[in-house]
């Protein structure tokens, strides 16, 4: 059987990963400034992470949400301490798209409305509802189109936002803390505050997608916290499990849970929570947020000395280097000549560094 050929892969096979490095089958070392697409948050094969998952596997590997799973509460308690959202509730799921899908459903259950405001350049996933709010029509099959009404507003366009609110039916605004796939553009602090204000005024919910920009990558636990804004719903995935599939939705107290409202077989399983707990423990023990700031200062100072870089985007260690020519050649050269993994985006001129 052949695997369904949808990925344009580098011809590299990894046999080991440790800290900021990965190694191919010939023991060639690569510096990983890509983190397997913004996933690695505490380093590859971190010893605490390996130990936490292994210990859990030797106890209970999996059981569904039909029994008590105390390790879920343990993760929730740690997340409350570190995320700044100690009063929010936590729903576990398995991937970023699933987290956003559930976030949209929750908003719509809550206020019984259907229209969503999203942003130009957004990427929120490839499931039915998330494709509708992703600004890339090429990804949608006919069956996905027009599930519900969406207005795509340009980032930081206050008038555009107000215009989009002019129908009564706006259920939610969804925005990435920093756009990942789109090309590292981000809302200004002022614009995020403005969105939060409009959401209150028009009885809509603010959903911040922190799937790529969360878990410390920007230097704060969530990127939107640079703006001192509180969201009603926050979605998380990638960094949450450092590679183990786990995702979550943080939900404001005003949104009430009821049996059967949401659900998933694998969400919050024992192994995923063991991975998630070790990530949070390590972020705290190793002062990773402070380290992000330190490395950012060094890196930005160095990058500013490179005249070909026309703009620096992003925050912390989620950075975009914009040139005035396509970066494909540079990216290939970094990988094959200098053994450095970097990322790309929808912006062909932007090289991204998404690391720890």
- Residue from 85, 91, 119, 123 touching ligand PLP (CB under 6 A): that is 123
Provide the mask over 239-258, with x wherever binding to ligand PLP is found by CB under 6 A and - wherever it is not: --------------------
Question: Given the complex with ligand PLP, which of 170 and 186 has the nearer CB atom?
Answer: 186
The structure tokens listed for 224 are 């939107």
What Å distances lie between residue 197 and 67, 191, 343, CA to CA? 40, 10, 34
Whole-angstrom distance, CA of residue 247 vs CA of residue 240 = 7
Q: Confirm if 117 and 161 have CB atoms less than 8 A apart.
A: yes
CB of 132 to ligand PLP, least distance (A): 13
CB of 48 to ligand PLP, least distance (A): 23
Residue at shortest CB range from ligand PLP: 96
- The yes or no reply on residue 96 touching ligand PLP (CB under 6 A) is yes
* CB of residue 2 to ligand PLP, shortest distance in Å: 22
Q: Which of 102, 212, 269, 347 binds ligand PLP (CB under 6 A)?
A: 212
- ∠ Cα 11 17 19 (to 5°): 130
Q: Is 229 in the site for ligand PLP (CB under 6 A)?
A: no
Q: Is 207 helix (H, G, I), strand (E, B) or coil?
A: strand
Burial category of 291 from C-beta neighbours within 10 Å (exposed 0-12, middle 13-18, buried 19 and up)? middle
Selected from 83, 95, 282, 352, the binder of ligand PLP by CB under 6 A is 95
Q: How far apart, in whole angstroms, are the C-alpha atoms of residue 298 and residue 188?
A: 23
- Determine the Cα–Cα distance for residues 312 and 352; give it in Å rounded to an integer: 10
CB distance 74 to 270 below 8 Å: no
176 vs 232, beta carbon nearer ligand PLP: 176
Assigned token pair, 21: 């490095």
Residue 42 burial (CB count, 10 A) = 24
Task: Based on the shown chain and the rule CB under 6 A, indicate whether residue 172 belongs to the binding site for ligand PLP.
Answer: no
CB of 301 to ligand PLP, least distance (A): 27
- DSSP run (H or E) holding 241: none
32, 151, 176, 232: which one binds ligand PLP (CB under 6 A) = 176
Q: Which is nearer to ligand PLP, 41 or 202 (CB)?
A: 41
As measured in angstroms, the least distance from the Cβ of 38 to ligand PLP is: 6
Tracing tokens 């990773």 back to the chain, one arrives at 288
d(CA 62, CA 354): 31
* Residue 180 engages ligand PLP in binding (rule: CB under 6 A): yes
**Identity of the residue, 264 or 339, whose beta carbon is nearer to ligand PLP in the bound complex:** 264
Nearer of residues 76 and 237 to ligand PLP, judged by Cβ? 237
Does the protein bind ligand PLP through residue 211 (CB under 6 A)? Answer: yes
- By beta-carbon proximity to ligand PLP, the closer residue of 102 and 212 is 212
Residue 22 phi/psi, 5-degree rounding, is: -125, 155
Residues in the site for ligand PLP, rule: CB under 6 A?
A: 95-97, 100, 123-125, 176, 180-181, 209, 211-212, 237
């Amino acid at each position: 059987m052949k695997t369904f050929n949808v990925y344009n892969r580098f011809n590299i096979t990894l046999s080991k990963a440790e800290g900021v490095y990965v190694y191919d089958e010939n023991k060639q070392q690569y510096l990983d400034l890509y983190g397997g697409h913004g996933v690695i948050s505490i380093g590859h094969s971190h010893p605490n992470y390996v130990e936490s998952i292994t210990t859990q596997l030797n106890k209970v590997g999996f059981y569904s949400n039909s029994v008590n799973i105390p390790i879920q509460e343990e993760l929730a308690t740690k997340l409350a301490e570190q995320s700044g959202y100690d009063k929010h509730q936590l729903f576990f799921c398995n991937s970023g798209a699933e987290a956003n899908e559930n976030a949209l459903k929750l908003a719509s259950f809550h206020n019984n409305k259907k229209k969503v405001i999203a942003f130009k350049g957004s990427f929120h996933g490839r499931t039915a509802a998330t494709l509708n709010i992703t600004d890339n029509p090429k990804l949608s099959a006919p069956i996905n189109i027009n599930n519900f009404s969406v207005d795509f507003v340009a980032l930081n366009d206050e008038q555009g936002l107000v215009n989009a609110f002019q129908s009564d039916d706006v259920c939610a605004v969804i925005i990435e803390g920093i756009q990942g796939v789109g090309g590292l553009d981000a809302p200004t602090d002022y614009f995020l505050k403005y969105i939060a204000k409009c959401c209150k005024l028009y009885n809509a919910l603010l959903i911040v997608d922190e799937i790529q920009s969360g878990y410390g990558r920007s230097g704060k636990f969530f990127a939107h916290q640079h703006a001192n804004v509180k969201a009603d719903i926050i979605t998380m995935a990638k960094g949450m499990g450092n590679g183990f599939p786990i995702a979550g939705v943080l939900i404001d107290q005003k949104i009430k849970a009821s049996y059967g409202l949401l659900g998933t077989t694998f969400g919050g399983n024992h192994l995923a929570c063991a991975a998630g707990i070790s990530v949070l423990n390590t972020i705290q023990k190793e002062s990773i947020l402070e380290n992000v700031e330190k490395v950012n200062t060094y890196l930005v100072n160095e990058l500013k000395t490179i005249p070909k870089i026309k703009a620096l985007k992003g925050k912390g260690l989620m950075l975009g280097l914009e040139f005035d020519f396509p970066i494909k050649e540079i990216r290939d050269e970094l990988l094959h000549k200098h053994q450095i993994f970097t990322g790309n985006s929808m912006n062909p001129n932007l090289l991204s560094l998404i690391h720890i």
